[in-house]
Amino acid sequence: MLPDFNRLKVFYYIYSLKSIVSAARALHISQPAVSQQLQKLESEIQATLFIRLHKKLVPTNAANRLFSLVQPFIDSLQEGMDNLRQPIDRPAGLLRIGAPREFGKEYLPLLSHTFREKYQEVTFNFSFDESAPLLAMLRAGEIDFALVDVFMPKGQFLETPHLFSIEPLIAEELILACSQDYYHKEIAGDHSFANLAAKAFVSDKDDLAILIHWFRHHFSRTAAKLNVVMTTNSHEALISGIRLGMGLGVTSAHLVFAGLTNGSIIPVETNKKNAESWISLVQLLDKVPTLTERTFITHLKNGMQKTEILQKFSRG
Q: How confident is the model at residue 243 (pLDDT cuts 50, 70, 90)?
A: very high
Pairwise pLDDT comparison (223 vs 25), residue with the higher score: 25
Q: Would you state the pLDDT for residue 14? A: 94
Please list, residue by residue across 69-95, b when 16 or more beta carbons sit within 10 angstroms of its beta carbon and e when fewer do.
Answer: ebeeebeeeeeeeeeeebeeeebbbeb
Please list, residue by residue across 18-38, b when 16 or more beta carbons sit within 10 angstroms of its beta carbon and e when fewer do.
Answer: ebbeebbebbeeeeeebeebb
Across the range 187-202, mean pLDDT stands at 96
Asked whether residue 207 carries a pLDDT value surpassing 70, the answer given is no
Pairwise pLDDT comparison (286 vs 185), residue with the higher score: 185
Closest-CA residue to 150 (of 163, 137, 166)? 166
Residue pair 279/147 in contact (Cβ under 8 Å)? The answer is yes
Residue pair 250/276 in contact (Cβ under 8 Å)? The answer is no
Helical segments of the chain, H only: 5-17, 20-27, 31-45, 61-84, 101-116, 131-139, 180-182, 193-197, 209-219, 235-244, 257-262, 291-304, 307-314
Across the range 263-268, mean pLDDT stands at 96
Q: How confident is the model at residue 75 (pLDDT cuts 50, 70, 90)?
A: confident
Which pTM was predicted?
0.60
SS (H, E, C) 141-165: CCCCEEEEEECCCCCCCCCCHHHEE
**3-state DSSP assignment of residue 126:** strand
Q: How confident is the model at residue 236 (pLDDT cuts 50, 70, 90)?
A: confident
Pairwise pLDDT comparison (247 vs 52), residue with the higher score: 247
Same structural domain for residues 207 and 125? no
The amino acid at residue 101 is: R
Q: Would you state the pLDDT for residue 310? A: 57
For the chain, first and last CA: distance in Å? 66
Same structural domain for residues 281 and 261? no
Closest-CA residue to 198 (of 244, 248, 268)? 248
Q: Would you state the pLDDT for residue 184? A: 97
Q: Would you state the pLDDT for residue 156? A: 45
Q: How confident is the model at residue 309 (pLDDT cuts 50, 70, 90)?
A: low
- The CATH number that applies at residue 152 is 3.40.190.10
Pairwise pLDDT comparison (304 vs 71), residue with the higher score: 71
Asked whether residue 197 carries a pLDDT value surpassing 90, the answer given is yes
Q: Would you state the pLDDT for residue 293? A: 95
Same structural domain for residues 185 and 153? no
Residue pair 143/96 in contact (Cβ under 8 Å)? The answer is yes
Same structural domain for residues 194 and 254? yes
For the stretch 146-177, pLDDT in tens is: 998 765 444 444 455 568 888 888 888 899 99
Q: Would you state the pLDDT for residue 220? A: 93
Pairwise pLDDT comparison (134 vs 311), residue with the higher score: 134
Same structural domain for residues 163 and 286? yes
For the stretch 104-138, pLDDT in tens is: 988 899 999 999 999 999 999 999 988 888 988 99
What is the chain's mean pLDDT, rounded?
A: 87
Closest-CA residue to 130 (of 161, 151, 109)? 151
Same structural domain for residues 147 and 283? yes
Same structural domain for residues 134 and 229? no
Percent of the chain topping pLDDT 70: 88
Same structural domain for residues 159 and 211? no
Same structural domain for residues 144 and 166? yes
Asked whether residue 313 carries a pLDDT value surpassing 50, the answer given is yes
Same structural domain for residues 205 and 236? yes
Show the domain range for 122.
Answer: 93-171+277-314
**3-state DSSP assignment of residue 264:** coil
Q: Would you state the pLDDT for residue 155? A: 43
**3-state DSSP assignment of residue 118:** coil
Q: Would you state the pLDDT for residue 154? A: 43
Report the number of distinct structural domains present in the chain.
3
Pairwise pLDDT comparison (302 vs 157), residue with the higher score: 302
Q: Would you state the pLDDT for residue 111? A: 94
Q: Would you state the pLDDT for residue 77? A: 77
Q: Would you state the pLDDT for residue 42? A: 93
Count of C-beta atoms within a 10 Å radius of residue 264: 14
Same structural domain for residues 148 and 181? no
Closest-CA residue to 292 (of 141, 122, 167, 114)? 122
Same structural domain for residues 244 and 184? yes
